[in-house]
């Protein structure tokens, strides 16, 4: 996770929790003209509703305007993590041990960055993924993006 994303998470988490939701993760993407700030929220008991996203979006927009943590123009999106849920933290990976995931590494390992397999476990701050009968151990900090593979 990048420093900017961590700062944004720390700023927004209390406000989002006060609205009855959990902050699942934050993605900041820089485009040619504008940045995109995508905030994923979740709930323990129920699914995330459009009303939840709207309430969180209003609260977050106000906080970000006051704190001015993102320079320049940006677009704010608030949504649920969805079926292809991104995995950011050790706890996220621990929750989905046994599930199929897709991992994109920051730097190539054995000349490739993309791996798809079964999440076997978590050891400290590293994940174990089984890809075609081969186990790989990747540090979470070395992962650019990880997502669950949806089951239909």
**CATH number assigned to the domain comprising residue 39:** 3.30.300.70
In this structure, is residue 84 part of a structural domain? no
**Beta strand 74-79 pairing with 35-42:** parallel
The alpha carbon of residue 67 and the mean position of all alpha carbons in its chain are separated, in whole angstroms, by 22
Q: How many folded domains does the chain comprise?
A: 2
Query: How many other CB atoms sit within 10 Å of the CB of residue 110?
Result: 7
What phi, psi does 14 have (nearest 5°)? -60, -40
Helix, strand, or coil (residue 67): helix
Residue 85 covered by a domain: no
Cβ 120 vs Cβ 128: under 8 Å: yes
Burial (CB count <10 Å: 0-12, 13-18, 19+), residue 26: buried
- Average pLDDT of the segment spanning 77-82: 94
From 56, 79, 102, the end of a domain falls on 79
Please tell me the pTM assigned to this model.
0.86
**pLDDT digit string, tens, across residues 104-113:** 999 999 999 9
> For position 3, what pLDDT does the model report?
61
Domain that holds residue 129: 90-148
Is residue 122 domain-resident?
Answer: yes
Query: How far is residue 46's CA from residue 43's CA, in Å, rounded to a whole number?
Result: 6
């Amino acid at each position: 996770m990048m420093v900017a994303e961590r700062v944004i998470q720390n700023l927004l988490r209390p406000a989002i929790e006060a609205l009855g939701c959990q902050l699942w993760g934050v993605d900041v993407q820089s485009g040619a003209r504008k940045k995109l700030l995508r905030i994923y929220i979740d709930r323990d008991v129920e699914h995330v509703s459009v009303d939840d996203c709207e309430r969180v979006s209003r609260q977050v927009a106000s906080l970000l305007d006051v704190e001015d943590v993102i320079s320049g123009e940006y677009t704010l999106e608030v949504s649920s993590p969805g079926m292809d849920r991104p995995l950011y933290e050790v706890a996220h990976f621990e929750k989905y041990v046994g599930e199929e995931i897709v991992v994109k590494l920051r730097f190539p390992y054995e000349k490739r960055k993309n791996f798809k397999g079964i999440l076997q476990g978590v050891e400290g701050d590293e994940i174990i993924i089984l890809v075609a009968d081969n186990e790989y151990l990747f540090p979470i900090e070395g992962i650019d993006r990880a997502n669950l593979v949806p089951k239909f």
